Structure 1
Amino acid sequence: MSDEQTPEAIGEIVAACASKAKLAAPDLAGASDEAVDAAIGEMAARLHSSRAKILAANAEDVAAAEAAGMSGGLLDRLRITEQRLEEMAEQLRLLASVPHPPAQTPVRDLDGGLRLVELRKPVGVIGANYEARPNVTVDVASQLVKSRNAGVLRTGSAALKSATALVDQVIAPSLSDAGIDPDVIQLVPTPDRAAAGALVELPDLIPLVIVRGSGQTTRDLDRRAAKHGVRTLAHADGGGVLYYDAKADPARAEDLITRSLDRLGVCNRLNLLLVHRDIYDAALPGIQEALAKAGVTPSLPPHEHPLGYEWALDGDHEATVTIAPVDGLDQAVRIANQDTSGLAAAIVTEDKTAANRFITTYTGTGVFWNAPTRLLDGFKLRGVPETGINLDRVPGPRGPVTFTDLSLRQYAVLPA
């Protein structure tokens, strides 16, 4: 490792990015709604006008990842196509059109001719760590701008060329055109993994970090941040659950299975299929046919892995779904609550009473009736891009986190 690549040097690089973002943050905090929305709208336009450079940079990332043996699911996350570029632009256009929440909300009148109001204030600088998902660069940056927070973005080597093109060709010039200091969005220029650790160790500069990804690395960053007094919105594990009830319509169930597996490298895909024991044998052929349509292999009992094992993280076996019989709804919910990440679970049934009980007793982030867990996505659910999905089981932003969640509450007592 060269002197320039020591952990200390990398920490200085991240701190320098954070300092630049913090200095620029007041400019964004004071920007008008019109300027903020103009910047986001211009990002959408520049995704079109700069698409050749963006696609070329992404092609370099994809080629390098293929040469390194990256799995198909991760390559799918990494790749930007013309269609995905258009989807990114459409999300930005919609975000620009979403009304801004009021900066001040009346709460109540107080004695002595006073009144209490609740103010929304930006956090200041928010960090974001993500790996081979270049679209997240635009998703997070636009959410930060809409919420008037500066940001420090860090991605790994697989997506760094794509992310750099998006920042240089789309995000920074769009902010400048709207009269906002482009330094409010910083991209850490080194792919070294030490930069991720440095990002969660700067509480005075970056008090909140969005940690996206799956697996042990994300969990380790979450714990590391806690030791340094940095709050995180972390998403380490995923995997959707589907309970196939005894009173399910088989055609509907098989359709849901297929639609839940349109992409295999994402967290909200079908991962675990629980089938009522009374119909297990009869339903299995249809289930296997639905899986075959999606190019997926079932993992059938007896299992040599935990029921909640997340196949999206397994590059060699990501095209797999675990199937298990259960005695009924209560056992299905217990497994979903205790043996999986708690990201999302669905029930397919024509029995309204069973569906309501499933909805009432499942404690995870998203619950679905006759709908695929793939819908657990900020844009699909709430009409705006997300910064990530927060799985916390304590009060705070939970589920898809969008710009409305990225603010601080402040109470102000004013003359009536």
Structure 2
Amino acid sequence: MLDVSPSTVATCAAAAAEAAPSLAGAADEVVDGALAAMAANLVSARPAILSANAADVSAAESAGMSRGLLDRLRLTEARLAAMASALELLASAPHPARSVELRTLPDGLRLVERRRPVGVIGANYEARPNVTVDVASQLVKSRNAGVLRTGSAALGSATELVASVVAPALSSAGVDPAAIQLVPSADRAAASELVALPGLVPLVILRGSGESTRALAFEAARHGVRTLAHADGGGVLYLDAEADLEVGVDVIRRSVDRLGVCNRLNLLLVHSSVYSMALPLVESALSELDIRLSLPPHDHAVGYEWALDAEHEATVTVLPVQSALEAARVSNEETSGLAACIVTTSSATAESFMAAYTGTGVFWNAPTRLLDGVKLLGVPETGINIDKVPGPRGPVTYPDLCLRQYAVLPR
């Protein structure tokens, strides 16, 4: 099943590029039909998918994979059903207009803005089988071909998903199934090759641990490949002096329903005036979930992302602060800027915190776990982009995966 030759990624990219026009020119109903077929295939191919995934999970357990990472890797009947529902939502989601008339120029010519697919988009992501379907479906909806590369732990599951779900759905809709390629290699060098092919794969979506993803982004820049990187995460929750602590504990519980995800509660900031009262309640709630608190003084960075620590992922850092503005400052300066929540009964304090926080998502009395494509936007995401530059930010979905083209036309 595995091919680790250095030409593997380039071969996949060339095949995707050759098939790209079949997808780029597809009608809306063809694209949506392919997505609906993917949803149906997830149901009909369920035994084969779960069998492949069970083999991946067993191998990962034998290798000592942590609880949080195993949770990311594991597929269940319920998760497959949720994946199918997300595909059905995506199939029914409206397509952005391919051409929009902007204005008439002074000489009477018409200015039109067109949306065009990128062509071939790469994706390198962690050992999460569902991401294979999430990214493939977003590429199909945006009419982009793709080259997918996942971690070795999930390669068996991903291979089955592409073979049993994605490829036959494209074929049944009349689209060349070669448009979505999965790199059949567990070799980590494949990730570096994926970001080094600007002529074939000009844009690559990067998801995974911070250091490895940043290294790939630097490598991509060196080769002139653009990236949408999802390198760092970690949600922040601030319990204000005027917080309803019962609400706060409930939001905290909902913020750690899964530990191996980027938008989970990572850093808990508590106003000093309620710190001694709130801490026992938080400790009690989290101890029931087998989650420990890292209390000051800390021997690690305040924003240290526990989801990436296989040995200590069931941890939440706690820090007292003096005000909502200090909480926003800590969130801005000490964390990735993914998402932050304030729990308070004061609308003025909430507005102050939300105005001061510059991150991608901000929440009031709601968990940062909501920073997710399906939960916020009703469609799967390719990842969550936290770059502080113009362009797609937050959950990146199919309308973001296009190029703008200006066309000047006669009257």
TM-score by length of 2: 0.99
SS of 2:205's partner is strand
Give the SS at the match of 1:278: coil
Q: Decide whether the 8 Å contact of 1:253 with 1:348 is kept in 2.
A: yes
Q: SS of the residue aligned with 1:284?
A: helix
C-alpha deviation, 1:84, in angstroms: 0.1
1:168 alignment partner in structure 2: 163
Tell me which of 365, 369, 375 is aligned to 1:374. 369
Work out whether 1:311 is the aligned partner of 2:325.
no
**Match status 1:191 vs 2:182:** no
Distance, in Å, in 1 between the alignment partners of 2:52 and 2:115 is 38
Q: Distance in 2 between matches of 1:139 and 1:321?
A: 28
Give the distance between the partners of 2:384 and 2:257, measured in 1 at CA: 19
1:348-404 Cα shifts (integer Å, max 9, x gaps): 000001100111110111000000000000110000000000010010100000000
Q: Is the 8 A contact 1:240 1:345 kept in 2?
A: yes
Structure 2 match to 1:228: 223
Q: Deviations over 1:83-140 (max 9, x none)?
A: 0000000000000000110000111111222111100000000000012101000000
Question: For residue 273 of structure 1, what is the aligned residue in structure 2?
Answer: 268
1:161-196 Cα shifts (integer Å, max 9, x gaps): 000000000100000000000010000011100000
The match for 1:120 is 115
1:15-414 alignment, distance < 5 Å? 15-414=10-409
| C-alpha displacement of 1:302 | 1.1
Q: CA deviation at 1:289?
A: 1.5
Contact residue 271 and residue 311 of structure 1 kept, 8 A:
yes
Task: Give the whole-Å Cα distance in 2 for the aligned partners of 1:143 and 1:236.
Answer: 19
After superposing the two structures, state which structure 1 stretch, 36-45 or 105-114, moved more: 105-114
- Is the contact made by 1:214 and 1:238 (CA closer than 8 Å) also made in structure 2? no
Separation in 2, partners of 1:393, 1:246: 30
Deviations 1:257-282 (A, max 9, x none): 11101000000000000000111111
Q: Aligned partner of 1:270: which letter?
A: L
Shift of residue 315, structure 1, vs aligned partner: 1.0
Aligned residues between the structures = 410
Partners of 2:132 and 2:307 in 1: CA distance: 21
Q: The residue matched to 2:274 in structure 1 has which SS?
A: helix
Q: Which amino acid aligns with 2:134?
A: D
**Structure 2 residue ranges without an equivalent (≥5):** none
TM-superposed CA distance for 1:252, in Å, is: 0.3
Deviation by residue 1:207-247 (Cα, 9 ceiling, x = unmatched): 00000112211110011101100000001111000010000
Q: What TM-score do the two structures reach when normalised by structure 1?
A: 0.97
Distance 2:55 2:408 in 1: 55
* 1:16-57 Cα distance to aligned partner (Å, 9 max, x none): 100000011011001110100000000000000000000000
Following superposition, the deviation at residue 328 of structure 1 comes to 1.0
For the 8 Å contact 1:18–1:206, the answer to whether it is kept is yes
SS in 2 for 1:298: strand
* Structure 1 segments unaligned to the other structure (5+ residues): none
Give the C-alpha shift of residue 329 in structure 1.
1.0
Partner of 1:385: helix, strand, or coil? Answer: coil
| SS state at 2:236 partner | strand
Amino acid at match of 1:226: A
Q: Distance in 1 between matches of 2:285 and 2:326?
A: 24
**What one-letter code is carried by the residue in structure 2 that aligns with 1:283?**
A
Q: Distance in 1 between matches of 2:187 and 2:224?
A: 23
What amino acid is the match of 1:230? Answer: V
